[in-house]
Amino acid sequence: MTYDRVPRDHRDLRERIAVRFFRMVNPLTRRMIPAGIPTGAPNVLLLIPGRRSGIERTSPVTVLDFEGHTYVQATYGASGWGRNLRAAEEVTMIHSGGRRSQAHPAEIPADEAAALLRCALAPYHCSRMLRRLLGPRVRPPVGLLRRYHLRIDDTPQEYLAEAQRHPLFELQPR
């Protein structure tokens, strides 16, 4: 069996800090989104059935609305909810204020995802300081970068490496 993520003991310090931070923040975000409290990002809750158990899991994710489509990126690779999303036929999105909608997740191939990421972030300023701070593997969700008009990567190869590390899914409405 192969895994898409780096083993825990090989993670960069910056990546370990980011993972711990989001583990602390996610329970709060799970309560804020249905209550309609602003989170500072275009977040939704995804109710994703487990790929083996079928038990619905709730994950707060940042969405990218671009050219009439809704995308979500598995920010820490295809682990946990990313693999469940890959296997799911249908997911439920809970928007700010508790409104629910059904969607069909479709994974976008890495080369197409790289082009889409580049197109979505091209007009924005490239932050070299943020890139140095986050390191080579950690990236904020693409929806967050677009909201704050930032980009980290420059070349098509960097976008392709990002798309290969962090799969991009389109959430097609039902």
Per residue of the chain (174 residues), what is the pLDDT tens digit? Answer: 444 555 555 677 877 887 788 788 888 889 999 999 988 889 999 999 998 998 999 989 999 999 999 999 987 776 788 899 999 999 999 999 999 999 999 999 999 999 999 999 999 988 888 888 888 778 888 988 999 999 998 899 999 999 998 999 999 998
- Please report the pLDDT score of residue 12 as a whole number: 76
Query: What is the rounded distance in angstroms from the CA atom of residue 48 to the CA atom of residue 84?
Result: 7
- Please report the pLDDT score of residue 5 as a whole number: 54
H helix runs in the chain, sequence order: 13-35, 81-87, 110-121, 128-134, 142-147, 156-165
Query: What is the rounded distance in angstroms from the CA atom of residue 160 to the CA atom of residue 66?
Result: 18
CB 142 within 8 A of CB 71: yes
- Please report the pLDDT score of residue 7 as a whole number: 55
- Tell me the three-class secondary structure of 121-151, residue by residue: HCCCEECHHHHHHHCCCCCCCHHHHHHCCEE
CATH class of 8-173: mainly beta
What's the longest Cα–Cα distance across the chain? 43
